[in-house]
Amino acid sequence: MMIKKYIKYIVATTVLATTIQATPAFANPEVPVTNGQINAVNQNIDDLETKFQQLDNEISLSIEKSQILNEKIVTQQGKIKETEIEIIKADEDLANHKEVYSERLKSIQEKGNQSVVTYAEVLLSAGSISEFFNRFTAISKIIENDNILLEGFKEKEVTLKEAKEQLQNHINELEKSKVELAAEQKQIEENKQQIAQELEAAKGELEILRAQQEAQLAAEQALRESALETQQQSQAQAPVTTQATAQASTQAPTPSVVAPITNSATANSVIATAKQYLGVPYVWGGSTPSGFDCSGFTSYVFRSVGISLPRTSSAQQNVGTRISLSQVQPGDLVFRGSPAYHVGIYIGGGQYIHAPQTGDVVKIASFNPSKFSTASRILK
């Protein structure tokens, strides 16, 4: 027995020594890892993931704005083409009227004189006062109508050209907004890269701390077992019933069975559909099984049961009946932030399914109400 005890001491010492050698500069091998340290790193990871999700949401909203700008630009370009066609027609109408006006003058002119002289000759050649006034009235009417038509065509041409210029200015403004939006997207992506590096570092730190803690626990367990063996040797003459009682006291209690939650048929359908897309990659602005962002995933899943949701998480937050986070049921939407920057579907059993963030996939995660802001019941 002494040899076995000695071996356990050697194992414990070796485990601790290995852990100390693997511990990076930021960990103090002489100080045991505490749950407080691990909780602090976990909180740091949660905070970084929250920032990551917020940036993902900003990019999704930015992509949506880009799509709207593109649609507006296409619409304005269509209007410019229509205006250009109208300008060409106005030019043709003006040219045609000038030609008609010229032909009319030629028909009135007798010697190729200027129009005013020709009109005067027509008036002076009248045989009577009555004929003079009749010719004067007719010529005045012709000149007046021609002038009105010419001015009308010219005004229309000017108006159309001004409209085209305004449309082009509007397009220029939209293009400028697109450039600014692209710059914002680039900055957001750079911020995400920085946070991604910090997130990976924090996760690495957490893995090391957990490994160190497990090694410490293993060493402590080895020491406890050794002490228990020593105690059992000293109590070798104790009644068998006492030993059996001691052994029974060391057995872990049988876990209680949690009764399954009864879901509505619609909730079951929503959850079953959502689980079909486990592993689908996160894609900014994604709303199809080829790639989802958080709100694209929830809107697609609920559409499968005939329920239409708005496109963004902040808009989805205002749909349905607002409920307490402590009263969530399977099929309810759960949100982070107000306005929301992230959304998922509660599936029961303290879990929810969501499209987390860039570089991740649709997955099931533990639901901690303290990390969420609101919940909405969509299903009746």
Residue appearing with tokens 């559409």: 303
**Of these residues, 51, 192, 336, 354, which one is catalytic?**
354
* Structural contact between residues 29 and 19, judged by C-beta atoms closer than 8 angstroms: yes
* pLDDT at 377 (0 to 100): 93
Q: Which residues pair with 130 in a beta bridge?
A: none
Considering the domain architecture, whether residues 152 and 207 belong to the same structural domain is answered as yes
Instruction: Flag whether pLDDT at 88 surpasses 60.
Output: yes
Look at residue 26 in the predicted model and tell me its pLDDT: 47
pTM above 0.85, yes or no: no
Instruction: Tell me how far apart the alpha carbons of residues 332 and 214 are, in angstroms, rounded to a whole number.
Output: 37
How many folded domains does the chain comprise? 2
Domain that includes residue 139, residue range: 1-235
Kindly state whether residue 260 falls inside one of the protein's structural domains. no
Share of the chain above pLDDT 70, in %: 71
pLDDT at 210: 79
73: closest CA among 179, 158, 156, 160? 179
Which one of 164, 342, 357, 367 is the catalytic residue?
342
Between residues 88 and 6, the one the model is more confident about: 88
Specify whether 210 is located in the same domain as 279: no
CB 208 within 8 A of CB 25: no
Report the CATH number at residue 171: 1.10.287
270 vs 13, 344, 346, 353, CA distance in Å? 53, 12, 10, 11
**Nearest residue to 375 via CA among 329, 306, 341:** 329
Catalytic residue among 294, 325, 334, 347: 294
Residue 292 β-bridge partners: 282, 287
Active site residue 242: no
| Whether 269 and 231 share a structural domain | no
Do 319 and 213 share a domain, yes or no? no
The whole-angstrom separation of Cα 326 and Cα 332 is 12
Verify whether residue 223 is a known catalytic residue: no
Q: Is 354 a catalytic residue?
A: yes
Q: Are 85 and 164 in contact (CB under 8 A)?
A: no
Q: Tell me the pLDDT tens digit for each residue of 309-368.
A: 998 999 999 999 999 999 999 999 999 999 999 999 999 999 999 999 888 999 999 999
CATH code assigned at 368: 3.90.1720.10
Residues comprising the chain, all counted: 380
Judge if 138 and 42 occupy the same domain: yes
In angstroms, rounded to a whole number, what is the distance separating the alpha carbons of residues 19 and 211?
Answer: 8
SS3 content of the chain, % helix, strand, coil (to 5): 65, 10, 25
Asked if residue 269 and residue 228 are part of one domain, the reply reads no
